[in-house]
Chains A and B, each alone.
Chain A
Amino acid sequence: MRRIAAAAAALLTLGSCSNGDSKTHLYLQRFFGECGADYGNSIDVSKAEGECGIITTLVNRFNAENPDIHIDVNVVAWPGYPQLTAQVAARDPPDLVTMHEGVISDYATKGLLERVDPYLKAAGIASEGFTDAARRGVTIGNRIYALPWDTHGGLFHVNTALFAKAGLMRGGKPVLPNSTEEFIAQARQFQARTGKPYFIQSNVADPAFAARNLFTYIMAQGALVFPDPKHIRLNTPEGLRAANFLRLINVERLGTQNMDTPAAIAAFMSGEGGIYPTGTWMIGTFEQEANTPGRPLYKSYAVFPYPRLWGEHVEFVSGHSWVVPTRKRTPQQREAIARFFKFMAAHNFDWARTGHIPAFQAVLGDPRFIALPHRADIAPLASIGRPLPSYVLRQNAIEGLVGEEAAAAFTGQKPIPQALADAERRVDDLLAQAE
């Protein structure tokens, strides 16, 4: 009995063991999954693949190159904000956290994130070197709250074999529409010649998809989605025009129906449609299909930013960034954070291999980046990308609410004006409570 009690006591204390070395420890919390089995000891970043592989290898390499510092990594379930909030509430937040740029304002406005200007300065990183989209994403007022790490947003992923069959290729490149009228005309032509839908959509259980499309095409008409921090404006002439256009795709059956994200991805990879508007993060997967003989996408894949259908060529984007939650830190830890920033900025190209757009202009112009498949085509996203204004709180929740109502409008479950008005009401209610 005593032995059992002793064993139990030993087990109970296992969780409270502390580091006993002389290194400066930083506690890094991230999503992107766990792949220690493949990359646990790897420091060769050039051989790492995918978000998880690259970030795991980068941290390993940082630890190897900085023997006086050790980064302890905590992998959280995506997106990790419930855990971060709990840690902040318990006054025990990590030192470095991956954060979507749209979420920064939720924490920064409460004083829960440190301004990173001093770290950037110590690391020799000038914010002028950020891309436009990246700078907008991490700046609130004139204050920078994160090291931007990438820009990600929607892209038109194109099946070029089907486009060729539809007569929509010129000079080896797909012809993308320049107006909504052209879009519908192309879609009809595509459908008539291939017998397949032009537009692959995931309007089921994918609010981000619908919200991304609506935001992008309202912004493209020069309209303000958020005229002030407490109100959203969707039920406007611009909002109605964008929603009516996206509804028409469904009325004329020019797009796939009743698909969620996995179904839409599968449909695109199986050659069941012409364009799939999904994010930068799918480039690697689709490129792999395009390089695999026998697959429907073999040698038949291209990708571009959303085409300009209205006056302005802008696109709703977000980005990943590194934030530093507010807490007491030693000077050594602060120096270690600056060194980590310097290291990560220097390796932004490696991260760009995931398909995300780099956060640094220098990487955008780097021949290594341009030489990566499709990157020259999608690089404009760094300049046309527009995040939601940083004064808007609860952007994640807003995307969910807007996406839900927008999908109902696009698929005909609700009359468009009612869906947009409902979205406005729900978002305004949410923002009225947001502090």
Chain B
Amino acid sequence: MADIRRKGLGPLGLAGLAAGAVVMLVPLIWTLLLSLKKNAELIGHSEAALHGPYTLQNYAAIVSNSLTLRWLLNSTIVALGTTAGVLILASLAGYGFARLDFPFRRTLFFFVLIGLAIPSQAVILPQHQLFAWLHLHNSYPGLILPGLIAPFGVFFMTTYMRGIPRELDEAAMLDGASRWTIFSKVILPLTKPAQSTLAVFTFLGSWNDYWWPLISATRSDMYTLTVGLAAAQMNYAQTSGLGYLMAQAVFASIPIFIVYFIFQKQIVRAMAGTAVR
């Protein structure tokens, strides 16, 4: 609120913001209300969501599926594994590109940046063949490894580390610190804001990923939550299972909300583009 006042937003601006917030919130509230109604009540009459009685029956049906918790665990492992891997690799690569001199550094960095322009769909066939050859489908490494190819992460960390004064490295070197010590004890702690931002985006991207898990995790005990919930839907779910469908959407979003509440400061900073100084 203080920020808004500083920027001179008057009552009209506030009203506009409130209207925007309502527009954003209405579909979410509608989804939540639909999820609390019995499917039978909603068939042909979705306006029934506007009044009671409400029930948690759809959520009970989701949780009572013996595989739902397994899918939740799979998604958690894959998202956390991918996030940790991306942070480690992007930090190391970023440090290398930002601080070390080695042959073809610029060329290599250029190649990494080209990766930003190549959609994952373009390499999905050879990638799938490679993972089949390595017998990695239907495994956690098979779900995590493709997510570690993170040109954006490398670019992001390189840019951030370039902004850290080199004098800090030189001072540490004069004290006899090795390259690894400089990286781990001096530079890395200073990149926490960038790490947080990258972690949030990587986690969200991995959690919501659908296409690769769909074709790599083909056994139901290895589904991630996105694939599992889609598989659990019956045909014409949007008509005869609307409440259940919406409960699935809410259920799949809960971890994302939790991540948001924990890291909202970093997410807002990242959205505002202020994480990179």
| Chains A and B are bound partners | yes
Interface residues of A (CB under 8 A from B): 11-12, 15-16, 29, 31-38, 40, 50-52, 73-78, 82-83, 85-87, 89-92, 261-262, 265-266, 268-270, 281-282, 285, 289
B216 A86 Cβ-Cβ under 8 A: yes
In angstroms, Cα B242 to Cα A261, docked, is 13
Closest to A90 in B: B132
The B interface is mostly helix, strand or loop, or mixed, namely helix
Residues of A within 8 A of B232 (CB): 33-34, 75
Is B103 positioned at the interface, with any CB of A under 8 Å from its CB? no
Closest to A83 in B: B218
* Nearest CB on A from B182, distance (A): 24
* Nearest CB on B from A104, distance (A): 19
Interface centre among A35, A77, A265, A270, by most chain B C-beta atoms within 10 angstroms, is A77
B218-237 residues at the A interface, CB under 8 angstroms? 218-222, 227, 230-237
A83 B140 Cβ-Cβ under 8 A: no
15 residue pairs A–B, Cβ–Cβ below 8 Å: A12-B139, A12-B141, A15-B138, A29-B218, A36-B64, A37-B60, A86-B216, A86-B218, A89-B129, A92-B137, A261-B236, A265-B239, A266-B43, A285-B43, A289-B43
Residues of A within 8 A of B231 (CB): 31, 33-34, 75-77
**0/1 string, B54-85, CB within 8 A of A gives 1:** 00000011001111000001000100000000
Contact of B65 among A12, A37, A73, A92 (CB under 8 A): A37
* Nearest CB on A from B28, distance (A): 20
Residues of A within 8 A of B237 (CB): 33
Is B45 positioned at the interface, with any CB of A under 8 Å from its CB? yes
Contact of B61 among A11, A37, A262, A270 (CB under 8 A): A37
B135-159 residues at the A interface, CB under 8 angstroms? 137-141
Residues of A within 8 A of B191 (CB): none
3 residue pairs, one from A and one from B, having the closest CB atoms? A33-B234, A269-B44, A90-B132
Contact of B128 among A51, A76, A89 (CB under 8 A): A89
B234 A36 Cβ-Cβ under 8 A: no
Is B214 positioned at the interface, with any CB of A under 8 Å from its CB? yes
Residues of A within 8 A of B233 (CB): 33, 77-78
Closest to A87 in B: B218
In angstroms, Cα B238 to Cα A36, docked, is 20
Residues of A within 8 A of B222 (CB): 15
A16 B137 Cβ-Cβ under 8 A: no
Interface residues of B (CB under 8 A from A): 43-46, 60-61, 64-67, 73, 77, 125, 128-129, 131-132, 137-141, 214-216, 218-222, 227, 230-240, 242
Residues of A within 8 A of B216 (CB): 86
* Nearest CB on B from A19, distance (A): 12
In angstroms, Cα B233 to Cα A36, docked, is 12
B44 A34 Cβ-Cβ under 8 A: no
Closest to A266 in B: B44
In angstroms, Cα B215 to Cα A76, docked, is 11
Residues of A within 8 A of B218 (CB): 29, 74, 76, 83, 86-87, 90, 92
* Nearest CB on B from A114, distance (A): 19
Residues of A within 8 A of B230 (CB): 77
Given A75-B220, A77-B230: A82 in contact with B238 (beta carbons within 8 A) = no
Given A32-B234, A77-B230: A82 in contact with B44 (beta carbons within 8 A) = no
* Nearest CB on B from A201, distance (A): 16
A90 B137 Cβ-Cβ under 8 A: yes
Contact of B44 among A11, A77, A270 (CB under 8 A): A270
In angstroms, Cα B228 to Cα A75, docked, is 8
B235 A51 Cβ-Cβ under 8 A: yes
B221 A15 Cβ-Cβ under 8 A: yes
A51 B238 Cβ-Cβ under 8 A: no
Residues of A within 8 A of B214 (CB): 77, 82-83, 86
In angstroms, Cα B220 to Cα A87, docked, is 13
Known A90-B137, A269-B44, A270-B44; 13 more pairs at CB < 8 Å: A12-B77, A15-B139, A36-B67, A37-B65, A75-B220, A82-B215, A83-B214, A86-B218, A87-B218, A92-B137, A262-B238, A266-B45, A266-B46
Contact of A15 among B125, B140, B236, B242 (CB under 8 A): B140
Contact of B64 among A32, A37, A269, A289 (CB under 8 A): A37
* Nearest CB on A from B145, distance (A): 12
Residues of B within 8 A of A90 (CB): 128, 131-132, 137, 218
Given A33-B233, A77-B231: A12 in contact with B140 (beta carbons within 8 A) = yes
A91 B132 Cβ-Cβ under 8 A: yes
In angstroms, Cα B46 to Cα A270, docked, is 11
Residues of B within 8 A of A261 (CB): 236, 238-239
Given A34-B231, A281-B235: A83 in contact with B44 (beta carbons within 8 A) = no
In angstroms, Cα B65 to Cα A40, docked, is 9
A86 B128 Cβ-Cβ under 8 A: yes
Contact of A11 among B77, B240, B242 (CB under 8 A): B77
B234 A281 Cβ-Cβ under 8 A: no
A11 B66 Cβ-Cβ under 8 A: no
A78 B227 Cβ-Cβ under 8 A: no
* Nearest CB on A from B107, distance (A): 34
In angstroms, Cα B231 to Cα A31, docked, is 7
Residues of B within 8 A of A16 (CB): 138-139
Residues of A within 8 A of B46 (CB): 266
Residues of B within 8 A of A51 (CB): 234-235
In angstroms, Cα B233 to Cα A261, docked, is 16
* Nearest CB on A from B268, distance (A): 31
In angstroms, Cα B153 to Cα A369, docked, is 61
Closest to A37 in B: B64
Contact of B235 among A78, A83, A265, A269 (CB under 8 A): A78
